[in-house]
Copies of this chain bind each other. A is one copy, B any other.
Amino acid sequence: MNHQESLTAYIAAFVGELVLSGITDVVVSPGSRSTPMALVMAEHPDLNVHIHVDERSAAFFALGIAKATNRTVAILCTSGTAAANYFPAIVEARYSRVPVLVLTADRPHELREVGAPQAIDQIHLYGKHVKWFAEMALPEKNDEMIRYARTVCSRAASYAASAPAGPVHLNFPFREPLIPKMDEELFAVSERPEGYVQVHNGELNINEMEYQEIAERLAGKAKGIIVCGNVADERFAIAVTKLANQLKYPILADPLSQLRSGQHANDQIIDTYDTFLRNEDAKSYLKPDVIIRIGSMPVSKALTIFIKGNPNADQFVVDGGGGWRDPAILSTDMIFCNEAIFCEKLSAYSKPRVETGYLDAWKKVNDLTKVNMSPIRDIPELSEGKLFYQLAEMLPDGAALFVGNSMPIRDLDSFFLTNGKSIKIMANRGANGIDGTVSTALGAAMYSKPLYLVLGDLTFFHDLNGLWAAMKHQININIILINNNGGGIFSFLPQSEHPKHFELLFGTPLNIEFEHAVKMFNGQFTRIKDWDHFQIEMEKTRDAAGINVYEIVTNRDKNRDEHREFWHVVSQEISNFVKGEQK
């Protein structure tokens, strides 16, 4: 059996199985050692091959596609530091539970750790941050090794997608010559054309007795809340709103829960808690006996403090991926169970509760907060808070909104409220980094259209290279760039009270004219002059193509003062209300 035939048959079997495993997109970075895999992938009629030169951006781009499609996405690069550049996105994929299949090409064993060029130790390169690592066998063509290649592929794709979804890494040693034999029969399979082995991925579920017990415990506790973070399961929104209705518990809906928009019942959705839970009167007025937390940790620090402030409440944490999301160390019940199934089954076991006033209290405080929030609309100057407040109105129905970390996700949480539109909200909230945001958004924009990205200047700068994909792959994206020339979040932290090294270490003004950056990638750059201008530009985005960047220049100090003033005013109104109710 000659080398080229073995190489070709083995890789074609692997790539063929990739497609049969449901993978439709691969992001490939150029390189020599990965040549055989790249060429065979490019030849497969059912694979979309996306090229990306910078591997750091490439991996985040893949993450974005996976977020938008809920499908595993593969990434491929050559040996050496190329593979190390994948690391930030892999870590993010792990903690945000996004399925990514990492394929790295490597030197064969005889060229490792002997000074050969572009050879680094790639065994367990990403350590504990991948769900599974396998060092692949050298390519061989015989029934057993073809079966091996196909089976490992199917297994890896299914591991990546099973709860908790995440990255899986396969490392491929390839010997030279690296050119496969490209003939028409590349993907013809002699047996099992429907896929080599089908994986039946079970879901975690607790038993009937346990549901019954939990239902009984909750039956005695009318003061309960449900806190929802991100849950990827599409059945979840209907299931949790039904449960909430049975129990008459308010749902505190993090923006990433996707519960603030959409077709499910929204009359028990609480969306301004980040504002009113800063108020001590509200916190004691709304004190719960039960907290049911589902999905990723919420963004709101006010909510986290509120949860911490109720150590005697029963705290249920439901996690279909078997994680342990409990930074306050206050959970009484850790429930490893699929989130949608849990809500459905618990609904079935629970008797519908009659409204007791507790849910009503939450709704009233929420409504009051909204009323007091509305003057934000009248702020004449460009303002970060107002931006998010208005976005819900301005975005077209069906749009996707990708939000940068640090301040934008927090402002979104505070100011982007429940609305009748169906707007999918995305962010990189696994590790909350500012890296890779542009690329993740662009990957998502391949499949979620139209897509709006809102981010700060440091975040935009960190992944500027990511924009190249938009130019290369003709992706349409609307980017709202909040430029406060530095790290705005630090103005809210204790560091800001120590001016001596503040601007050097934390403010870090970039002093970049981003117009040049946008031009470099053939994008359109518009500096927003005022709200009227913004409104006009946002209306135009409905027909916009390519990269469109709208820069909103703000001031860090003024932004902080504006936020504090807003919270101060609302807080007073809430205190007045609560004291009135308690009389």
User: Chain A interface (Cβ within 8 Å of chain B)?
Assistant: 28, 30, 32, 35, 38-39, 42-43, 49, 51, 53-56, 80-82, 84-85, 87-88, 90-92, 94-95, 110-111, 113-121, 124-125, 127-129, 177-179, 182, 296-297, 323-327, 329, 431-433, 435-436, 458, 461-462, 464-465, 468, 471, 487, 489-490, 493-495, 497-498, 500-501, 504-506, 508, 510-514, 516-517, 519-521
CB pair B39 A461 closer than 8 Å: no
Q: How many copies of the polypeptide does the oligomer hold?
A: 2
CB pair B120 A91 closer than 8 Å: yes
CB pair B297 A116 closer than 8 Å: yes
CB pair B461 A53 closer than 8 Å: yes
Shortest CB–CB separation between residue A405 and chain B, in angstroms?
Answer: 9
A95 to B39, CA, bound (A): 29
Given A39-B501, A516-B519, 13 other A-B contacts at CB below 8 A? A39-B505, A42-B500, A43-B501, A49-B505, A55-B435, A85-B88, A94-B120, A115-B326, A121-B128, A178-B494, A471-B511, A513-B520, A516-B517
The residue in chain B whose Cβ has the minimal distance to the Cβ of A325 is B115
CB pair A505 B91 closer than 8 Å: no
A87 to B363, CA, bound (A): 48
For A516, give its contact among B490, B495, B516 (CB under 8 Å): B516
CB pair A118 B431 closer than 8 Å: yes
For A114, give its contact among B35, B326, B435, B494 (CB under 8 Å): B326
- Which residues does chain B contribute within 8 Å of A489, judged by CB atoms? 32
Q: Which of A119, A324, A508 has the most CB of B within 10 A?
A: A508
- Which residues does chain B contribute within 8 Å of A487, judged by CB atoms? 30
Shortest CB–CB separation between residue A99 and chain B, in angstroms?
Answer: 18
CB pair B81 A179 closer than 8 Å: no
CB pair B505 A432 closer than 8 Å: no
The residue in chain B whose Cβ has the minimal distance to the Cβ of A512 is B520
Shortest CB–CB separation between residue A75 and chain B, in angstroms?
Answer: 14
Shortest CB–CB separation between residue A520 and chain B, in angstroms?
Answer: 4
The residue in chain B whose Cβ has the minimal distance to the Cβ of A435 is B81
CB pair B490 A32 closer than 8 Å: yes
The residue in chain B whose Cβ has the minimal distance to the Cβ of A494 is B179
9 shortest interchain CB distances as A-B pairs: A115-B325, A81-B433, A516-B520, A116-B327, A42-B501, A84-B88, A115-B297, A87-B87, A81-B88
A363 to B327, CA, bound (A): 70
- Which residues does chain B contribute within 8 Å of A511, judged by CB atoms? 471
A507 to B134, CA, bound (A): 30
- Which residues does chain B contribute within 8 Å of A513, judged by CB atoms? 519-520
The residue in chain B whose Cβ has the minimal distance to the Cβ of A297 is B115
CB pair A91 B81 closer than 8 Å: yes
Q: A81-B88, A506-B30 are in contact. Are A324 and B114 (CB under 8 A)?
A: yes
- Which residues does chain B contribute within 8 Å of A490, judged by CB atoms? 30, 32
- Which residues does chain B contribute within 8 Å of A516, judged by CB atoms? 516-517, 519-520
For A182, give its contact among B115, B468, B498 (CB under 8 Å): B498
Shortest CB–CB separation between residue A552 and chain B, in angstroms?
Answer: 19
CB pair B465 A115 closer than 8 Å: no
The residue in chain B whose Cβ has the minimal distance to the Cβ of A28 is B505
Shortest CB–CB separation between residue A246 and chain B, in angstroms?
Answer: 27
Can you list 21 A-B pairs, Cβ within 8 angstroms, ordered by A?
Answer: A30-B458, A30-B487, A35-B495, A39-B498, A43-B501, A49-B504, A53-B461, A53-B462, A54-B461, A80-B91, A81-B88, A82-B435, A85-B87, A95-B120, A113-B324, A114-B326, A114-B327, A115-B297, A117-B432, A516-B517, A517-B520
Shortest CB–CB separation between residue A175 and chain B, in angstroms?
Answer: 13
For A433, give its contact among B82, B178, B494 (CB under 8 Å): B82
- Which residues does chain B contribute within 8 Å of A296, judged by CB atoms? 115
- Which residues does chain B contribute within 8 Å of A297, judged by CB atoms? 115-117
Shortest CB–CB separation between residue A303 and chain B, in angstroms?
Answer: 12
A324 to B115, CA, bound (A): 7
Shortest CB–CB separation between residue A169 and chain B, in angstroms?
Answer: 12
Q: A51-B504, A177-B494, A520-B516 are in contact. Are A329 and B110 (CB under 8 A)?
A: yes
For A512, give its contact among B54, B124, B433, B468 (CB under 8 Å): B468
The residue in chain B whose Cβ has the minimal distance to the Cβ of A299 is B117
A205 to B497, CA, bound (A): 55
Q: Which of A119, A329, A432, A458 has the most CB of B within 10 A?
A: A432
CB pair A461 B465 closer than 8 Å: yes
- Which residues does chain B contribute within 8 Å of A111, judged by CB atoms? 327
A120 to B89, CA, bound (A): 12
A471 to B297, CA, bound (A): 39
- Which residues does chain B contribute within 8 Å of A329, judged by CB atoms? 110, 114
A326 to B114, CA, bound (A): 5
Q: Which of A35, A177, A468, A514 has the most CB of B within 10 A?
A: A35
The residue in chain B whose Cβ has the minimal distance to the Cβ of A60 is B81
- Which residues does chain B contribute within 8 Å of A129, judged by CB atoms? 120-121
Shortest CB–CB separation between residue A505 and chain B, in angstroms?
Answer: 5
The residue in chain B whose Cβ has the minimal distance to the Cβ of A112 is B327
- Which residues does chain B contribute within 8 Å of A118, judged by CB atoms? 431-433
CB pair A182 B500 closer than 8 Å: yes
The residue in chain B whose Cβ has the minimal distance to the Cβ of A30 is B508
A534 to B80, CA, bound (A): 35
- Which residues does chain B contribute within 8 Å of A431, judged by CB atoms? 80-81, 118-120
A315 to B465, CA, bound (A): 45
For A80, give its contact among B49, B82, B324, B433 (CB under 8 Å): B433
